């Protein structure tokens, strides 16, 4: 009988890289003006992101490397990509304020991720997770993109979600 020793750590890392890949694809589609496809890819990335954490915990494969890789992937998929979609759909019409609002979302997400990575998790998040914020912004895109009033919605939702990410409001893990 042949026994092959397989390092199982590649499983959650592959899921994390899939999340990152989907975030990059979402960016590329957003650059081409395919905002609904981009938003849908972010929703899929959120599902994959949820799976990578579950797999890592289930098989006791968590590591500092995996945590950092996950955060970097999350910043692209749930911070930068949704902000670029919002920019392409609406915020680009607001001039300098649009630049600030677009930058505000991933900057808030980066702050949220850094804070999470250096604090001990006690079952309750401080501030809304970037995955949830990016997923919600993507859902807004899917719901409002077919209407002309979406330009009114993005500044408000960006500010609200950015605030919720950096706040210390407790959010229960689901």
User: Can you give the residue ranges of every domain in the chain?
Assistant: 10-172
Structure tokens at 100: 């600030």
CATH class, 10-172 region: mainly alpha
pLDDT of residue 149: 58
User: What would the two tokens of residue 106 be?
Assistant: 């991933």
**35 or 10: which leads in pLDDT:** 35
**Residue 170 DSSP label:** E
- CA torsion sign for 125, 129, 131, 136 is positive
Position 154 scores a pLDDT of 87
φ, ψ of residue 129 in degrees (nearest 5): -60, 145
Q: Is the pLDDT of residue 33 over 90?
A: yes
Q: Is the pLDDT of residue 6 over 60?
A: no
Instruction: Encode pLDDT of 98-157 as tens digits.
Output: 999 999 999 999 999 999 999 887 888 899 999 999 999 999 988 886 666 566 788 999
Q: Using one digit for the tens of pLDDT, what is the confidence trace for 35-88?
A: 999 999 999 999 999 998 888 888 888 888 888 999 999 999 999 999 999 999
Selection from 125, 137, 111, 139 nearest residue 172 by Cα: 125
């Amino acid at each position: 009988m042949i026994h092959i020793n397989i390092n199982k750590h590649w499983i959650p890392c592959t899921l994390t890289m899939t999340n990152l890949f989907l975030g990059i694809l979402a960016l590329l589609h957003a650059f081409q003006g395919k905002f609904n496809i981009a938003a849908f890819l972010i929703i899929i990335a959120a599902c994959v992101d949820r799976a990578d954490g579950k797999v890592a915990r289930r098989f006791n494969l968590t590591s500092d490397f995996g945590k950092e890789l996950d955060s970097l992937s999350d910043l692209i998929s749930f911070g930068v990509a949704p902000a670029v979609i919002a920019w392409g759909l609406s915020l680009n019409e607001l001039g300098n304020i649009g630049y600030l609002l677009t930058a505000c979302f991933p900057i808030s997400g980066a702050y949220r991720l850094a804070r999470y990575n250096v604090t001990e998790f006690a079952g309750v998040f401080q501030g809304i997770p970037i995955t949830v914020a990016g997923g919600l912004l993507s859902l807004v895109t899917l719901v409002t993109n077919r209407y002309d009033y979406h330009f009114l919605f993005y500044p408000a939702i960006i500010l609200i979600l950015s605030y919720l990410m950096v706040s210390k409001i407790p959010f229960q893990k689901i």
